[in-house]
Structure 1
Amino acid sequence: MTQAQTGNQIKVHYTGRLDSGQVFDSSADREPLEFTLGQGQLIPGFEAAVTGMQAGDKKTVTIPAEDAYGPRQDELLFSVERSQLPDHIQPEVGQQLQVNQEGQTAVVTISELTDTTMTLDANHPLAGENLTFDLEVVEVA
């Protein structure tokens, strides 16, 4: 059997959990995740965990935040006036919005609201989290 290595097309079923045990994503009840190993399509720790596995192999791996979505960065928090929102949007804490900055679109999460301002968080929602994955390699090609 072929061991997964850079350049291989990989199909893998996975379930991702936080340290609390909460499942944040899973391929259960859908097609396996398909990607080319070594192309940087996935977080580094996930690719490293799959490297060397063969079709049929299963394992559980915990990926530290540094090898997942990185640490939370305070400089990615910023405040804006609520008046900058279109009238049809009623902001709520936890709500995700798309913002355009310097020609680039980014997804931000509303983390705090006052009567006049809102704090937006541009960190990835899983930044600062250690992630545990149950992996099952379905195919290595």
Structure 2
Amino acid sequence: MSIPTVAVFHYSLKDKDGNLIDDSKGRDPLHVMLGKGHIVKGLDEALPNMKAGVKKTITVSPEDGYGVVDESLRLKVPRDQFPPDADIQLKMQFQTSQEPGAPLFTVMHIDEDGLIYIDGNHPLAGHELHFDVEIVEMRPADPEEIAHGHAHAPGGHDH
């Protein structure tokens, strides 16, 4: 059994047009135990072959990122299907189930006829992702990280 690798890296995430979505600028680098599903598949699979000091742009397809858009998760719901006292707002997010893996729905549109358009896809579903990464460190996971199934940043962690 091989010891999992922890990648410590800075990143910026951009869409296909170069618009910045997220980055680690001004923060500590991300610590990720590779192969555990903690980051999108395409990035997770590209990092193991990199070494400290390497900078690289990694392009991730929707299939290896946040998935393709699932039209069955885009719904029109009559207002009366929500609790009467619910204050429904654009971009509001909610879950319809407490089951593990249940989608998080976002209110996308409210029309004058009382229909509420919701979307359970991840906001980046269907998007090609461009990660600019700079590897700070690649190291074997320590026994505590292996036992917990995730990487720990310096100074420990809280569960």
Counterpart in the other structure of 1:42 = 39
Counterpart in the other structure of 2:25 = 28
TM-score of the aligned structures, taking structure 1 as reference length: 0.86
Aligned-residue identity in percent: 32
What CA RMSD, in Å, does the superposition of the two structures yield over aligned residues? 2.0
1:46 is paired with a residue of what secondary structure?
A: helix
Moved over 6 A (4+): none
1:75 is paired with a residue of what secondary structure?
A: helix
Q: CA 1:24 to 1:86, structure 2 compared with 1: closer, same or farther past 3 Å?
A: farther
Counterpart in the other structure of 1:100 = 96
Q: CA 1:79 to 1:112, structure 2 compared with 1: closer, same or farther past 3 Å?
A: same
Q: CA 1:109 to 1:6, structure 2 compared with 1: closer, same or farther past 3 Å?
A: farther
**Which ranges of structure 2 fall in alignment gaps of 5 or more residues?**
140-159
Higher strand proportion: 1
**Which ranges of structure 1 fall in alignment gaps of 5 or more residues?**
none
Q: CA 1:37 to 1:110, structure 2 compared with 1: closer, same or farther past 3 Å?
A: same
8 A Cα contact 2:61 2:128, kept in partner? yes
8 A Cα contact 1:99 1:108, kept in partner? yes
8 A Cα contact 1:6 1:37, kept in partner? no
Counterpart in the other structure of 2:131 = 133
1:9 is displaced (CA, Å) by 1.3
* In structure 1, C-alpha distance between the alignment counterparts of 2:98 and 2:128, rounded to whole Å: 31
* In structure 1, C-alpha distance between the alignment counterparts of 2:66 and 2:74, rounded to whole Å: 16
Counterpart in the other structure of 1:58 = 55
1:6 is displaced (CA, Å) by 7.1
Aligned residues: 135
TM-score of the aligned structures, taking structure 2 as reference length: 0.77
8 A Cα contact 2:103 2:121, kept in partner? no
* In structure 2, C-alpha distance between the alignment counterparts of 1:9 and 1:96, rounded to whole Å: 35
8 A Cα contact 2:89 2:107, kept in partner? yes
Letter in 2 for 1:61: I
1:85 is displaced (CA, Å) by 4.6
